[in-house]
Amino acid sequence: MNPKKDVTIYDIAKQLNISTSTVSRALQNHPAINKLTKKKVIATAKEIGYQYNTFAGNLRKKSTSIIGVMVHELNSNFITSVLAGIEKVTSEAGYDIIIAHSSESYTKESANALNLFHKRVDGLIASLAYDTKNLDHYLPFHQKGIPVVFFDRVEPSDKSTVVVIDNTKCGYQATKHLIEQGCKRIAHITGNLSRNVYAHRFQGYKKALTEHHLPFDKKLLIVNDLGEEAARNATLQLLRLPSLPDGIFITNDFTAAVVIQTLKENGIVVPDDIAIVGFNNDAISKLIEPKITTINYPGIEMGEIAARQLIANLKGEENVQLTNTIIIRSDLIIRESSLKKHTPLSIASNNNANKK
Amino acid sequence: MNPKKDVTIYDIAKQLNISTSTVSRALQNHPAINKLTKKKVIATAKEIGYQYNTFAGNLRKKSTSIIGVMVHELNSNFITSVLAGIEKVTSEAGYDIIIAHSSESYTKESANALNLFHKRVDGLIASLAYDTKNLDHYLPFHQKGIPVVFFDRVEPSDKSTVVVIDNTKCGYQATKHLIEQGCKRIAHITGNLSRNVYAHRFQGYKKALTEHHLPFDKKLLIVNDLGEEAARNATLQLLRLPSLPDGIFITNDFTAAVVIQTLKENGIVVPDDIAIVGFNNDAISKLIEPKITTINYPGIEMGEIAARQLIANLKGEENVQLTNTIIIRSDLIIRESSLKKHTPLSIASNNNANKK
DNA sequence: ATGAAAGCGCTAACAT
DNA sequence: ATGTTAGCGCTTTCAT
């Protein structure tokens, strides 16, 4: 298949009548090598079409300078920002990255993890799939001392650093904001509650209700796969309720967009009849009508921090036991979808009158 | 960094008192090996924690079973569908894939190409970046006989198969549809015209105008980077024109969504004042108001076909000279954004009255 | 059905 | 500043 024989450092060495070690060192810009020699080596390398053989190098060095990145999906602003952040930091540090995506499937995540392990990545940065419930597939990494950093979708682990946002706080903020807008019956549409992000947002939601003496009504909690159809069904389900909710906190903007559309199709006015808060600050949140109030959190920064943490681990600078959890800032962005006309924002947001 | 020594086939061989060749063959399920031996080898492999070393294998075999995939971006439905298609076909054929993305930058694309080359991928599937103007960075692949298949964003090449849609036809269809809706002044917002997809769509646009005896007005052609700000500026630029367009054909749905929003903010009614056709059938096209008429084309299929073509090349089954271009079907999806009230679709779409 | 032995291309400890 | 040398772990030809 590759008929032509590869050009190796032996060929360069022969041509220049020097040893392969000198060639190898020259190619790596080793300080002990004569500048002239380096020049000659590089020149002949180019001349005879030499190409570095990564396998031979990796086999010898027992390290790949590759960092694996496992993501649960690819098509969201958030993930592409995280990837950009990771790429920036890792490439500056001389690492390449390999991206694997699980498409939200535990099985695929597992297979990919094994695959990255066999590819001998030096480290791993991962976000878990929708239905991942254990971390067994990362055991080989731990056993071999390969550092793993989890971000966003995580499980508690004493073996790895996790980089997350404070989802409980976000859920709390989102819900509190709706309460301050005068909402009394706030629904929550979210994903699998065994996944940390959704579990914590739900906790925050409940906390806000409790603090403001609103009852938690389990009919107002809908857990689904967050797809388009599920979002429509969830909305219709809420609309069939004997008494409608007056606010919905939805765990991602895409789902929120579908919900808003379905509500409008059914003659419900957003935010007047039902106020909406989404999550993620995806591009779509600014493009639909009304624009969606949402939680923003910086993907780039999350990626950069995860990568920096991993590289620190790799260099042995950092003790995982010490920095086990890193929390990134996040904030509520208020737009039209949640602003009930009768409660001006400036008053509402500082209003603690509900508290005893 | 990886303190523990790796378990190798030598360890297995020693433990069982057989040779490494037997172990190697057993692990590969070679037919000449005794079933019992195989079982024992596999058992002890598991027992002592053996892990295959890809580098040693690749170094020896001079092939990696890895296919590189170069994409211009990651965050679109289209690309994720293509990836899914590629993944399906390649994994069935026993290949792994490595995804590299250029973020629409020629420089990054170039660097990534070299990188994949050094990683010794067995083949490459690529879509070009926004500003890629030559294919020099793929030369090493051609020289070494590594097959490359381009999809969607391509340049003409006699060395590779290209998999595309008929962009000229799509541009023509989109524009003709607007004309049939009664539009007389149709603007076109698009990307870099040296990129094939945009160039061809523009050709189709012009062809439709010419065929229907409408003049091409260069003030109605806006070329930009298709980002959010550019889309807004483009819209405002059109709105400043002494006589407004009554239709706009826009080269992607995200941009179209921003344009529609900006139009609405400026009191223009879509489609009544200005009808809109987008491109790609992204999720957003169904979620904004009005829903966007767009061109749909099947990413999954494109990915599958590109991958199948590459694998056929790899196996030497296929002669690139013979199948140089593969065209995938595509179609116009008509939604509200282009439907002028006074021209019912059923009549308009079969109407050739304009023709001499 | 199994084994011996060579070698894939590179690196690095050790020598000079 | 450069060379010698011994592998890294696997596959495979040739032999038995």
Residue with the two structure tokens 């066999």: A118
Instruction: Tell me what pLDDT residue A159 has.
Output: 86
Cβ of A122 within 8 Å of Cβ of B56? The answer is: no
Mean pLDDT for chain B?
89
Say whether pLDDT at B225 is over 80: yes
Buried/exposed B13-51: b ≥16 CB within 10 Å, e otherwise: beebeeeeebbbbbbeeeeebeeeebebbbebbeeeebe
For residue A144, give the nearest of B2, B80, B98 by CB distance.
B2
Residues whose C-beta lies under 7 Å from strand C:
A 5-6, 8-10, 20-21, 24-25, 27-28, 50, 52-53, 56-57, 59-61; B 17-22, 25, 31-34, 37, 56, 59-60, 62
Cβ pair B126, B138 in contact under 8 A: yes
Cβ pair B50, B9 in contact under 8 A: yes
Contacts of A280 in chain B (CB under 8 A): none
- Distance CA(B312)–CA(A261), nearest Å, equals 45
Say whether pLDDT at B307 is over 50: yes
To the nearest 10°, report the CA torsion of A91, A94, A99, A100: -150
Amino acid A303 reads G
> Which residues are within 8 A (CB) of B178 and not within 5 positions of it... i.e. 6 or more apart?
B186, B247, B249, B275, B277, B338
Higher local confidence (pLDDT), B162 or B118: B162
For the beta carbon of residue B158, count every other beta carbon within 10 angstroms. Answer: 7
pLDDT (tens digit per residue) in B100-158: 889 899 999 999 998 888 888 999 999 999 999 899 999 989 888 889 999 999 998 88
Any bridge partners for residue B149, and if so which?
B125, B161
Say whether pLDDT at B347 is over 60: no
Any bridge partners for residue B100, and if so which?
B70
In degrees and rounded to multiples of 5, residue A223 shows phi and psi of -110, 125
Contacts of A45 in chain B (CB under 8 A): none
Please, what are the domains in chain B? 9-52 (1.10.260.40), 64-165+298-328 (3.40.50.2300), 167-297+332-355 (3.40.50.2300)
Distance between A185 CA and the closest CA of chain B, angstroms: 26
How many A-B residue pairs are in contact by the CB < 8 A criterion? Answer: 115
Nucleotides of C under 7 A from a protein CB: 1-13
For chain A, 356 residues long, the average pLDDT of each consecutive 10-residue run is 67 90 90 88 89 88 89 86 92 86 93 87 94 91 89 90 96 98 97 95 98 97 95 97 97 97 96 97 94 95 95 76 86 95 48 36
Nucleotide showing the shortest C1' distance to residue B19 CA = C3
Instruction: Tell me what pLDDT residue A187 has.
Output: 98
Instruction: Tell me what pLDDT residue A172 has.
Output: 98
Q: Token pair of A125, please?
A: 């940065």
Buried/exposed B67-103: b ≥16 CB within 10 Å, e otherwise: bbbbbbbbbbbbbbbbbbbbbebbeebebbbbbbbbb
- Distance CA(A298)–CA(A296), nearest Å, equals 7
- Residues counted in chain B: 356
Cβ pair B153, B104 in contact under 8 A: no
For the beta carbon of residue A4, count every other beta carbon within 10 angstroms. Answer: 9
Measured over the CA atoms of residue A77, residue A82, residue A85 and residue A87, the dihedral's sign is negative
Instruction: Tell me what pLDDT residue A49 has.
Output: 86
- Output the pTM of the full model: 0.85
Q: What percent of chain B has pLDDT over 70?
A: 93
Q: Would you give the DSSP letter of residue B214?
A: P
Instruction: Tell me what pLDDT residue B54 has.
Output: 86
Distance between A2 CA and the closest CA of chain B, angstroms: 6
